[in-house]
């Protein structure tokens, strides 16, 4: 167990000697399976009456760039007294004095956006995309093409606004998103494994061609036990150029299933040291993968094979 005397953490041995090392290499599939997934979130509300032209007022326009495309962004505020819903995709046309008009193609919502009710005084946006590269113009050279200086967007209810967009050629046409608002940030369940700290205790030297035996202390400074679930995967990395040692294993969670509050558990570790590593200092890193806040490092002097 561990007790706290004043502000000093006193660690008492929880077992006789470090927890045994287990030879359980971690696969990429195991690592991917531990990536935290967001909690289910309720769908956005879309039950407000449709927005009218009188409900929406333009607050700003901005030129931008996203995913290899020039962009005109337009934000409108709901100036009405109650929520309304704008889920349509506006009609957008680009005009040039030297070429035909180009009507925008409707595209899907951009990542991180959603269609939802727009509360009174809240904002809704739309983006007009001008792709720079496409199958018909893979280089984006735009040679000899007319340029477009004026863009007209028809709002819900039929009102049309003129946009001061960039003076550019449109070799890949024009695209427009539906009206959208920012989707809420995903939420995750608390990850108590993040509370663990690591400390490496290693010998000062190791012979090339042998195994480095060392110990990692995992400490839980919190007032609640931390369950080792899912069983943590850790990385061992030996900073040797040009062929570093890079290994990943599962912790021995059969022997210890939780680290008690205000306690430290020692784990035995093994790292094979290739014969080819030249003599000299090598920095050793140890860290938990995915739940990667438990991290430690040290330097070990490698002795050449045979002395």
Answering whether pTM is above 0.85, one says no
pLDDT tens digit string along 130-142? 887 787 766 656 6
Q: Is CATH 3.40.50.880 the right assignment for the domain spanning 190-303?
A: no
- Multiple choice CATH, 53-182, 2.40.50, 3.30.530, 2.60.40, 1.10.357: 2.60.40
pLDDT, averaged across the chain: 88
d(CA 140, CA 99): 18
Mean pLDDT over residues 211-231, rounded?
96
Q: Of 295, 290, 267, which is closest to residue 191 (Cα–Cα)?
A: 290
Confidence of residue 303 (pLDDT cuts 50, 70, 90): very high
Compute CA distances 110 → 13, 31, 126, 166, 179, whole Å.
Answer: 54, 28, 10, 21, 10
- Work out whether the CA dihedral 267, 295, 290, 238 comes out positive or negative: negative
pLDDT tens digit string along 254-297? 999 999 999 999 999 999 999 988 899 999 999 999 877 899 99
Residues of the chain with CATH 2.60.40.10: 190-303
User: What is the predicted pLDDT for the residue at 220?
Assistant: 97
User: What is the predicted pLDDT for the residue at 6?
Assistant: 38
- The token pair that represents 120 in the structure block: 């009174």
């Amino acid at each position: 167990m561990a007790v706290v005397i004043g502000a000093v953490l006193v660690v008492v041995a929880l077992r006789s000697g470090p927890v045994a090392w287990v030879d359980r290499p971690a696969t990429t599939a195991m690592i991917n399976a531990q990536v935290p997934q967001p909690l289910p979130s309720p769908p956005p509300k879309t039950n407000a009456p449709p927005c009218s032209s009188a409900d929406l007022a333009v607050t700003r326009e901005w030129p931008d760039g996203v995913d290899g495309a020039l962009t005109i962004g337009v934000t409108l505020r709901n100036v009405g007294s109650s929520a309304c819903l704008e889920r349509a995709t506006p009609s957008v046309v680009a005009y040039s004095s030297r070429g035909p008009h180009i009507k925008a193609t409707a595209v899907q919502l951009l990542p991180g956006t959603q269609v939802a009710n727009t509360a009174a005084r809240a904002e809704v946006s739309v983006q007009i995309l001008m792709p720079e590269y496409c199958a018909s113009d893979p280089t984006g050279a735009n040679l000899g093409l007319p340029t477009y200086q004026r863009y007209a967007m028809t709002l819900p209810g039929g009102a049309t606004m003129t946009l001061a967009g960039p003076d550019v050629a449109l070799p890949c046409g024009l695209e427009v998103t539906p009206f959208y608002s920012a989707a809420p940030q995903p939420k995750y369940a608390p990850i108590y494994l993040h509370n663990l700290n690591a400390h490496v205790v290693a010998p000062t030297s190791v012979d090339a061609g042998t195994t480095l035996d060392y110990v990692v202390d995992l400490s839980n400074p919190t007032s609640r036990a931390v369950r080792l679930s899912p069983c943590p995967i850790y990385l061992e990395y030996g900073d040797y150029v040009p062929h570093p040692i890079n290994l990943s294993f599962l912790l021995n969670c059969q022997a210890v299933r939780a680290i008690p509050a205000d306690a430290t558990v020692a784990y035995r570790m093994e790292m094979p040291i290739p014969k080819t590593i030249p003599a000299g200092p090598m920095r050793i890193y140890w860290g938990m993968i995915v739940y990667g806040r438990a991290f430690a490092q040290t330097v070990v002097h490698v002795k050449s094979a045979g002395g």
